[in-house]
Structure 1
Amino acid sequence: MFKRLIKKIIGDPNDKIMDELQITVDEVATLEPRFQALNDDEIRGEVQKLRERALAGEDLDDLLPEAYALVREASVRTTGLRHYDVQIMGGTLLHQRNVVEMKTGEGKTLAATLPLFINAIQGKGCHLVTVNDYLVKRDGGWMGKIFHFLGLTVGCIGSQDFSALYDPEYVNPGADLEDERLVHWRPSTRKEAYLADITYGTSSEFGFDYLRDNMVTDRERLVQRGQNAAFIDEVDNILIDESRTPLIISGPASQSGKEYTRFSEYVRRLKENTAEEDEEPNGHYDIDHKSRSISLTELGLAEIEKRIPEIDHDAGDSLYDPRFFHLTYYLDNALRAQY
């Protein structure tokens, strides 16, 4: 009863949102006859004007009605599908960084073309994140017709280093030729797929590419060009369910495995120091059980240095010289593992 009273006094906040969305729907509808009267080249000319305004710094929200009206007309001409008013509303909410729930069959794939387009015209790239490789190729290839008509490039990334660009002139002989949405992906480099105006991919592939980019030392090996905007399909699955699985990059142990084995042998015959603090050490290492740490005594350090062939102890070399300091990592781990 109290909630009903509050609503009566201040109104339902959802009503305000719906009123604002209806204004956008009406603005898009008003522009529709104007764009219907243009030929294909003139439509692309309107897109170019929109891009120039976006690059000049004009607020995307001010461009939204025209952008959405252009996408709606392009969709009708290329796929035969016209965005319903509810899809215009959903696309607007997505552009405003909201989570939108749409039932299966309500056309969320088509609705996503609206925020993807308006966020791609700035030339900074835009990502569509979905749950598996099949949906990446299917949705990207299906909606790729619309974006290609509007003069935008579309890329996709998948598992096993798959990456491609949408090209309606190309037919992939290895694809399912009965499904036209899958056949026009021309193989490309990963970097080329990310340089496209719009890139479709799975959350894990976007994540792994980001991690790998943060590990390279040469800028030329970077594949991503930055993160501008991303729209997520099945957001509950990706941000809640899949987020519980960490992305971990691993590789062969190679040389480090040999080093661990070598230092394990070096520390195996060391003896614990049992002398008091004011006495000369009679062992090779001290254990501090309170802090759970272990350290070498002077005897222990000398013993280890004698066993490492790279160190010339008689020439005054020390394990803590800069050129040998990387070996202390393996020594520390061997001591912890052994004792």
Structure 2
Amino acid sequence: MNLLILLGFGTLQEWQLLMFPLFLAVYLITLVGNFLILVVISMDKKLHTPMYFFLGNLSFLEIWYTANLTPKMLVDLLRKEKIISLTGCFIQLYIFCALGTVECFLLLLMSYDRYLAICNPLHYAKMMDWSYCFKLAAGTWLWGFLLAAGLNYIVATSLTLCGPNQVDHFFCDLTPLLKLSCSDTHPAEMAIFVACFAVSLFPFLLTITSYIKIISTILKIPSSSGKVKAFSTCSSHLTIVTIFYGMLGVTYSVSIGTQSVELNKILSLLYTVLTPLFNPIVYSLRNKEVQEVLTKFLRKGSVFSNLQYYLSSIQTCKKE
């Protein structure tokens, strides 16, 4: 079995031509929004802090996360035969699992950063120096790709794919791939269960613990203005965490409780297509520092002219 056929959205085939411009618009807004966040963070020294360093990592991740799935889905919406090679399927699955893992731990790192800033402000600058931030971020990316490699290896070696080569989904997800196997799927299912605990439930519990301590510390601040100022530094991240884990929880809860394949596909769109869109929207609407820098940045000229100036200044510095 060298080629697989993605069944896409199944009974929603008649809606595909209407879905294409909608998903294309979401994809373009996601790319531009996260790219703008990266440019704004890199160009303003006020945003050269650990919190925005991790936000930059998150925006960079969201660009590649959506690029792994959405372009293929958009192409498939315009054609009848949605074919993907077996190798391409496992590559897509690997990148999907790896970036999903990295995102969970990046959100954890951002909550840890806010915990130190609010609960231990006197030692924050010393503890969260740039060397430590780079190590945390690098470790997160390395852990995500290594864990995904191990999971994909177990799935690929323990399954014997046979029978119909049809994947009942719009991308190569683990569950529909298991249904193609004519061998025992228990080892793969156990590996998936352990991986899900390690990459989603464990960081989620640590993130919740961090925010319980953050909120309890904020409530102890005597002045109301101090409480508002402290909470404003973590409100954007808390919103992103709520959206991410909320969508993930709803999707997997419904997938366990229902046998509707079409409903599961629609819910999968929440965390594969829509979640990467919310990151730049939340941080541009709820974060005053990003709003100020973005407004100043756009007033100076177009995005591309500012980016060209930024790149030319880097080249000038290198020559000097």
TM range (shorter): under 0.3
- Which entry has the higher C-alpha Rg, 1 or 2? 1
Q: Report which structure shows greater RCO (CA 8 Å, sep ≥6).
A: 2
More helix by share: 2
TM-score (norm 2): 0.23
